[in-house]
Structure 1
Amino acid sequence: MRKIVCNTFATLDGVMQGPGGPEEDRANNFKYGGWSVSYWDEAMEQVMGEFTKPSFDLLLGRKTYEIFAAHWPFVKDDPTADKFNKATKYVATNTLTSSLWQNTVFLNNDIVQQLRELKKQDGIEIQVHGSSDLLQTLQRHNLVDEFHVWIFPVVLGQGKRLFEPGSMGSGLQLTDHKVSKSGVIMATYIPKGEIELGSFALEKPTELEIERRKHVQ
C-alpha cells in the first residue's frame, strides 16, 4: 500500500492560504500572502530536508501545481528542486490536459477512485504540499495516512483552512514534533479512528445543571 502524506503550513487559527508570497493565492481578497516567510530558520530547513530525502511522488491540486510548475523547473542547484522535478506529479484537475513540466500525470475523471487505486499499489509515498481544495476531498474520503502540520505563531482571521467544515471527524495521534527557534511547531499526526468522547460532569447532575440543560441549543 502506498501512503498519502500531507505537508501543510498553517497559522494558529488553521489558515493555510498563500504562505509563500503575496501572489500565491489572492482568492477572496486574501491580503496576507507570504505570512510564513519571516519565520523560516535552519531547523525548519533541516526538517524539510528530512521529509523530502526519501524518494516520493507528488499529488497536487490544480492551483498549487501551476504555482510549482512556474517555479521549480527554473530553480538550479537546489536539492528540493531536483526532487520535485524528478518526481511523478499527479494533478487533480478538470481543466488541465497538458504541461511542459516533466513527469506530470493528470487525474481528471473520478479522482477519488483513481487515488484509491494508486494507494493499493506498491511503491513510494505520495506527498501532498499545499493544495487546500484537494485536501478537503482527501479528508472527506479518509484518504490521508499522515499529516505533517507546521503551525506558525500567527493569527490571520481569514483565508482557506486546513480543516474546513465538512472534514471527516477523526481522532489523531501525535507521532513526532519539533519546535523551531522562531516558534514554529512541526508536528506529525496519523489518523487514530473515531473521536473518543467523555465528560467531566458530575455523575449525578445538580438541579442547576438539570435546569441549564433544558435551555441548551
Structure 2
Amino acid sequence: MGMLVISENMTLDGVMQDPTGDDGFERGGWFGQVTDEDHQAWAEVECGEALRAQALLMGRRSYEYLVERWPGRTGTWADRLNSMPKYVVSSTLMKPVWSNTTVITGEVVDAVSRLKHYVEGEIVVNASGQLVPLLIEHDLVDEVRLMVFPFVLGGGERLFGATSATKALRLVDTRIVGAGLALLTYSQVRVE
C-alpha cells in the first residue's frame, strides 16, 4: 500500500504562495532569498526524495508549473522526475505532455484512495495548494514534510486551511538543511 507524503516549501509563518515570485504575489520570491549553500542542500534533499518516491501526485496548476521546467532538464533528479509515474488531479487537463502522466478526474478522494492501494511506496505531493487541504481533510495523508524557509511574510496563502476537525500529527524528525533551512517531518496520528 502506498504512503501519501505532502512535501512543501513554506515560510516560517506557513506561507507557501509564490515561492519563486513568478505569479506576481507582492511578497513572493522568498525561495530565492536564501544562500547558495541552502539552495544546494535543499536540492540534495529534494533529489533524494524523488529517488525514493514511486509516484508524484499534483494539482493542475502545479503540473503546469513543473511541466514547463523539468522535461528539458537532465541529471539524476530530472531523470527521475521525468520517468516516474505522475498523477494530476484536474477537470480541465485533457492531454498531458509530460511523460508517464495520468489525469485523475471525477471523485478525487476515491481516486486517491485507489491510487494508495495501487502504488507501493511513497506518493509525493509537492505544492498543490488546493489539493493538499482536500487530502488532509479526508485523512489520506500519511506524512507531512515541511521545508521551512526562515522568513515571516505576514501574508499570503498558507498550506493549512480550515478543517472539519482537528488533525493530529506527530513530529518524527527534524533536520537542519544547509545553514538556514529546517526540515520538519510529521506522521499522521491515526485515531481508531
Say yes or no: TM over 0.5.
Answer: yes
Q: Which runs of 5+ in 1 are unaligned?
A: 195-217
Amino acid at match of 1:43: A
Provide Cα deviations, 1:48-91, integer angstroms capped at 9, x if missing partner: 2322222421100110000011110011x322111111111110
Shift of 1:127: 0.6
Contact kept? 1:41, 1:180, Cα under 8 Å: no
Q: Which runs of 5+ in 2 are unaligned?
A: none
Task: Tell me if the contact between 1:142 and 1:168 (Cα under 8 Å) persists in the aligned partners.
Answer: no
> CA separation in 2, counterparts of 1:168 and 1:34?
33
Between the aligned residues of both structures, percent identity stands at: 35
Picking from 128, 132, 137, the partner of 2:129 is 132
Bigger radius of gyration: 1
TM-score by length of 2: 0.90
What RMSD in Å do the two structures reach over aligned CA positions?
1.7
Higher relative contact order (CA 8 A, sep 6+): 2
**Aligned partners of 1:148, 1:14: CA distance in 2, in Å?**
13
1:3 aligns with 2:3: yes
* 1:203 equivalent in structure 2: none
- Choose which of 112, 116, 119 in structure 2 pairs with 1:119: 116
The residue type paired with residue 18 of structure 1 is: D
* Pairing partner for 1:46 from 44, 47, 56: 44
Tell whether the 8 Å contact from 1:139 to 1:167 is kept in structure 2 after alignment.
no
- Alignment equivalent of 1:65, drawn from 51, 56, 63: 63
> Residue 175 of structure 2 contacts residue 182 of structure 2 at CA under 8 Å; is this kept in 1?
yes
The TM-score with structure 1 as length reference comes to: 0.80
> What's the CA shift for 1:37?
2.1
Determine helix, strand or coil for the equivalent of 1:118. helix
- Please identify runs of 4+ aligned residues in structure 1 that moved more than 4 A: none
Query: What is the CA distance between 1:96 and its match in structure 2?
Result: 0.8
Cα contact 2:96–2:102 (8 A) shared by 1: no
Q: Distance in 2 between matches of 1:54 and 1:166?
A: 30
Residue aligned with 2:141, SS: coil
Aligned to 2:142: 145
Q: Secondary structure at the match of 1:36?
A: helix
Instruction: Confirm or deny that 1:85 pairs with 2:82.
Output: yes
Residue identity matched to 1:14: G
